Amino acid sequence: ARIAIARGEIHMQSATLRLIRDGQIKKGDVLVTAELAGVMAAKRTAELIPLCHPLNLTQVEVDVALDETLPGVQITATVRTTGKTGVEMEALTAVSIAALTVYDMAKSAEKTMRIANIRLVEKRGGQSGDVINE
């Protein structure tokens, strides 16, 4: 069994965060769309990153949540599989694409948003053992 958890964030102006929270972004529901994009990206990681093995993923969960303290959006991806290769790249790809989706959907409101701090939080399983970074 393998599991990887990755996180990232998007910093934005409070006004942009309010537009997202209030459903006022013209392209639609930013959080739901970003979560879906993250799941889709995890499943296609091998197509996006050279030398990355295609994996049979057993679970992909992407959580995109508003964070007033940033202000911005926090993204967490959890990916699971059973196999010989870990799923760190899939989790990191899910976070990255979810963040890019938030940016794309909200860029009409703000072009100064910053995608930041994309990182592996935790991985379990495999020869290198468990890693807990947070």
Closest by CA to 8, choosing from 107, 126, 101, is: 101
- The pLDDT assigned to 128 comes to 82
Note the pLDDT tens digit of each residue in 2-22: 999 999 999 999 999 999 999
Query: Is the link from the previous residue into 71 a cis peptide, with omega within 30 of 0?
Result: yes
Q: Is 67 a catalytic residue?
A: no
Position 100 confidence tier, pLDDT thresholds 50, 70, 90: very high
Which residue shows structure tokens 């799923």? 87
Query: Is the link from the previous residue into 54 a cis peptide, with omega within 30 of 0?
Result: no
Q: How far apart are the C-alpha atoms of 65 and 49, rounded to whole Å? A: 26
**Single pTM value for the model:** 0.95
Alpha-helical runs (H) found in the chain: 14-21, 30-43, 45-48, 88-106
The catalytic residue among 22, 63, 104, 130 is 104
pLDDT value at 122 more than 90: yes
Phi, psi of 95 (to 5 degrees): -65, -45
Note the pLDDT tens digit of each residue in 59-86: 999 999 999 999 999 999 999 999 888 8
Q: How far apart are the C-alpha atoms of 88 and 19, rounded to whole Å? A: 32
